[in-house]
Amino acid sequence: MKAILCFLLLLVILVDNSFGQWYNKKYHVSDIGQLSDQQLQESLKDSKFNLLGSIIVAGLGGGFCLLAANQQFELPDHPTLLEQAIGKKGMNNIAYVTGAGMVVGGIIALISFEGRIGKLKLALSKKRVTGSVRISPMILSNHSSPSHLPGLLLTYKF
């Protein structure tokens, strides 16, 4: 029972972190474009870590569901009053519902963190300075005399 409560607490914390404008909560800015490159990199790293955590929570929930479906809960030799009141079938149902809740919460968090990672990558690509250098042949003309000279045109954009 204690393990179920610990897993539920972990699930609530994970789902709570996945909702809302996280950049407003963490960095106190109203737009993701206002974050610095360092803040974007840090947020990307955190989001990838949290994505892994949501996958683990969903996997553990699936394991709970499989365990509850395939194995009957046995009452200990000296059951507590709560365990006696709920009974074997009730304990299996609680384990199954807890596992299903963990799967649903993990999937919701997974979708949320996937969207956040996409937004962070997009913001990082917009922040990066992309430049180009182009060299092309050109004919130079002299305005004072009607002569033309071959040359190279160097164009750079930053």
Asked if residue 65 has pLDDT above 80, the reply is yes
How far, rounded to the nearest angstrom, does the alpha carbon of residue 128 sit from its chain's CA centroid?
21
Distances (CA, A) of 39 to 7, 18, 22, 25, 44: 30, 18, 12, 13, 8
Specify the pLDDT at position 82.
77
**What's the start-to-end Cα distance of the chain, in Å?**
61
Specify the pLDDT at position 48.
94
Instruction: Give the mean model confidence (pLDDT) for residues 130-149.
Output: 73
Give the confidence band of 110 by pLDDT, cuts at 50, 70, 90: very high
Q: What is the amino acid identity at position 143?
A: H
Place of tokens 């200990």: 76
Asked if residue 127 has pLDDT above 70, the reply is yes
Specify the pLDDT at position 12.
67
Q: What is the reported pTM?
A: 0.62
More confident residue, 32 or 114: 114
Place of tokens 């809302």: 20
